[in-house]
Amino acid sequence: MKIRIVNKSKNRLPAYETAHSAGLDLRAMTDSAIVIRPMERKLIGTGLYIEIPEGYEAQVRPRSGLAVRHGITVLNSPGTIDADYRGEIGIILINLSDSDFIVNNGDRIAQMVIARHEKAELVETEEINITQRGEGGFGHSGKQ
């Protein structure tokens, strides 16, 4: 699959860093260092604009290294970029650590996964089928 991309940054295009990577690394585009204080969130631009084919989405996800080493994650994870969106890809980063985090131009700040999706047709009804699990929710699997 080919995806058209406009790169208004001076950074290289997103790339798969290994042969079996699912995500393309996204880099920050900034004129100066951006400081994200503890528990603060900031929208970081990438300078990238993409044209996603119909039936696909781009998912923006955190980078595990930033999360484990610095407590930095993508706030609305995964963020969805719809096929009809044509604006700049922006990354909402949040600092969950107790120290300031600095983002510089070209830093890898997130990853983007291209995924196929289905459109569902919702059919309103008065009841739905019962399962063994029933209404058991969060963390409920029937195991002790």
pTM for this structure? 0.87
Over residues 38-61, the pLDDT tens digits come to: 999 999 999 999 999 999 999 999
Q: What pLDDT was estimated at residue 135?
A: 79
Residue 124 lies in a domain: no
Over residues 27-41, the pLDDT tens digits come to: 999 999 999 999 999
- Which residue type does 126 have? E
Residue 30 lies in a domain: yes
Over residues 91-134, the pLDDT tens digits come to: 999 999 999 999 999 999 999 999 999 999 999 999 999 888 77
Residue 136 has pLDDT above 90, yes or no: no
Containing structural domain, residue 18 = 4-116
Instruction: Provide the number of structural domains found in the chain.
Output: 1
Where does 1-144 show beta strands of DSSP type E? 4-7, 24-27, 34-36, 41-45, 48-51, 56-61, 72-74, 79-81, 90-95, 101-103, 108-116
**Residue 140 confidence class, pLDDT cut points 50, 70, 90:** low
Indicate the DSSP class of residue 17: S
Instruction: Please identify which residue in the block is written with the tokens 């393309």.
Output: 24
Alpha-carbon separation of residue 15 from 38, 72, 78 (angstroms)? 29, 21, 19
Print burial letters for 47-72: b (CB count within 10 Å at least 16), e (below 16).
bbebebeeeebbbbbbbeebeeebbb
Where residue 55 sits, what CATH number does that domain have? 2.70.40.10
Over residues 66-81, the pLDDT tens digits come to: 999 999 999 999 999 9
Residue 122 lies in a domain: no
Say if residue 38 is preceded by a cis peptide, omega within 30 of 0: no
